[in-house]
């Protein structure tokens, strides 16, 4: 086994169970580990401190265990996946008749850095974000089949765009198990086509489930505008909530097609819904004042990296300012940021600045985040990425 020795003092974050070893913390490596191989991490005093997946890049090791006696074998994967499943079961997400859509594994949040698994009815979509998880995909798929106790027939692997390109892993998307094309899943009693073949992420934004359910409660009698609608998740909940009308906007024609499909699955031929393939900024600029009294802004991550932060904050400011400028008095704004690089405070300041620019009286009704099946590892606070505010605009 290859051994990684840290520089003096660089074990501090690992002692506090932070699951990453940065390349700058490493003094030397015994041997020449391949990307994705398991390595052992030692302090400068040669004490064992962690074991994890090695990778070339700023995060050099993603920790799988802090226990010297725990080896990474088939039983390790079974134990970890069973723990993840038990958590979802105990919080009431598994075994419901009205819901079979949830996240089973959320990377660091489930002590499995680099791995995401979403469940859509009888299909699991698995995504590797590290070379190590990619190398172990077959063992993980096997453990998943066992742990899910007959609940999963298909495992689709979707990592073509999530793995480091330089590692030469050549991942191919495809089924590791089964191959069903039945891709309708149910979320809180609503049906959705999940496009795991071509869609973004694992095919659906499972992380907005609770926020969509909250929006449903405010939709009654309102004219709703769902910006950056993608699969139309918020729109479908607004329809069920009794909205007067629901308009969905996305710049991607494919997303508009998906939205129309999902509305059709739940509310066929309902004239309340219309979808527009248009740029969100342009749409907001051109729409009439007071046309909507419930607006959702759920843009893609404006800042994927720290250096894009300034532009991202400007983007949030501009977007929210346009919504504040046009929303009907007494309207409700659901506004989100899913950029990991943008903190809760920074996002709130951007929205606050936009509100001030519009000169309107704005109150915070709710502060939203990611749902319980996207848990934040308490030792890895960076894992909190989804931020939302529900605002009452006079």
Q: In which order are the strands placed within the sheet that holds 38-42?
A: 20-22, 59-65, 48-54, 38-42, 2-6, 26-30
Stretch that binds ligand SAH, among 34-42, 106-114, 227-235, 305-313 (CB under 6 A): 227-235
Q: Does 245 participate in binding ligand SAH (rule CB under 6 A)? A: no
Q: Does 208 participate in binding ligand SAH (rule CB under 6 A)? A: yes
Q: Does 205 participate in binding ligand SAH (rule CB under 6 A)? A: yes
Which among 223, 227, 324 is positioned nearest to 280, based on CA atoms?
Answer: 227
For residue 235, the minimal CB distance to ligand SAH (Å) is 9
For residue 336, the minimal CB distance to ligand SAH (Å) is 8
- 3-class secondary structure, 10: coil
Binder among 233, 315, 331, 371 for ligand SAH (CB under 6 A): 233
Binder among 55, 101, 223, 231 for ligand SAH (CB under 6 A): 231
Q: Does 4 participate in binding ligand SAH (rule CB under 6 A)? A: no
DSSP element (H, E) containing 366: strand 362-368
Which among 134, 139, 127 is positioned nearest to 77, based on CA atoms?
Answer: 139
Binder among 12, 47, 70, 279 for ligand SAH (CB under 6 A): 279
Q: Does 118 participate in binding ligand SAH (rule CB under 6 A)? A: no
Radius of gyration of the chain (CA): 22
Q: Does 202 participate in binding ligand SAH (rule CB under 6 A)? A: no
Q: Does 250 participate in binding ligand SAH (rule CB under 6 A)? A: yes
For residue 195, the minimal CB distance to ligand SAH (Å) is 11
Binder among 93, 255, 295, 362 for ligand SAH (CB under 6 A): 255
Which among 317, 308, 298, 303 is positioned nearest to 358, based on CA atoms?
Answer: 317
d(CA 284, CA 364): 22
How many other C-beta atoms are found inside a 10 Å radius of the C-beta of residue 78?
A: 17
For residue 266, the minimal CB distance to ligand SAH (Å) is 15
171-190: string of b/e by CB count within 10 Å (b at 16+)? beeeebbeeeeebebbbeeb
Eight-state DSSP code of residue 110: G
For residue 265, the minimal CB distance to ligand SAH (Å) is 15
Site for ligand SAH, rule CB under 6 A: 205, 208, 228-231, 233-234, 250-252, 255, 279-281, 298-300
């Amino acid at each position: 086994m290859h051994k990684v020795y840290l520089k003096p003092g660089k074990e501090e974050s690992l002692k506090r169970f932070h699951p990453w070893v940065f390349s700058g913390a490493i003094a030397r490596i015994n041997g020449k580990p391949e990307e994705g191989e398991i390595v052992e991490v030692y302090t400068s005093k040669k004490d064992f401190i962690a074991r994890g997946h090695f990778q070339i890049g700023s995060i050099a090791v993603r920790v799988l265990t802090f226990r010297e006696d725990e080896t990474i074998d088939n039983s390790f994967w079974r134990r970890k996946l069973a723990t993840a499943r038990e958590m979802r079961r105990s919080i009431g997400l598994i075994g419901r008749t009205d819901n079979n859509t949830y996240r089973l594994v959320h990377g660091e949040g489930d002590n499995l850095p680099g791995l995401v698994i979403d469940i859509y009815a009888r299909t699991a979509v698995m995504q590797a974000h590290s070379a190590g998880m990619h190398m172990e995909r077959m063992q993980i798929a096997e453990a998943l089949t066992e742990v899910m106790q007959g609940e999963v027939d298909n495992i689709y692997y979707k990592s073509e765009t999530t793995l480091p390109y330089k590692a030469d892993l050549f991942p191919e998307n495809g089924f590791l198990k089964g191959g069903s094309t039945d891709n309708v899943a149910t979320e809180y009693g609503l049906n959705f086509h999940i496009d795991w073949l071509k869609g973004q992420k694992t095919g659906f934004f499972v992380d907005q489930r609770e926020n969509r359910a909250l929006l449903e409660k405010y939709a009654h009698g309102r004219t709703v505008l769902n910006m950056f609608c993608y699969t139309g998740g918020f729109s479908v909940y607004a329809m069920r909530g009794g909205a007067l009308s629901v308009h969905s906007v996305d710049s991607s024609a494919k997303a508009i097609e998906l939205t129309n499909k999902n509305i059709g699955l739940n509310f066929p031929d309902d004239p309340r819904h219309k979808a527009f393939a248009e740029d969100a900024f342009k749409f907001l600029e051109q729409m009439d004042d007071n046309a909507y009294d419930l607006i959702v802004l759920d843009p893609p991550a404006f800042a994927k990296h720290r250096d894009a932060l300034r532009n991202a904050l400007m983007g949030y400011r501009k977007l929210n300012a346009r919504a504040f400028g046009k929303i009907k008095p007494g309207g409700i704004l659901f506004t989100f940021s899913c950029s990991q690089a943008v903190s809760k405070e920074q996002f709130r300041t951007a929205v606050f600045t936009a509100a001030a620019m519009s000169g309107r009286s704005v109150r915070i009704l709710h502060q939203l985040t990611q749902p319980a099946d996207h848990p934040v590892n308490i030792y890895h606070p960076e894992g909190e990425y989804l931020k939302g505010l529900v605002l009452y605009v006079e």
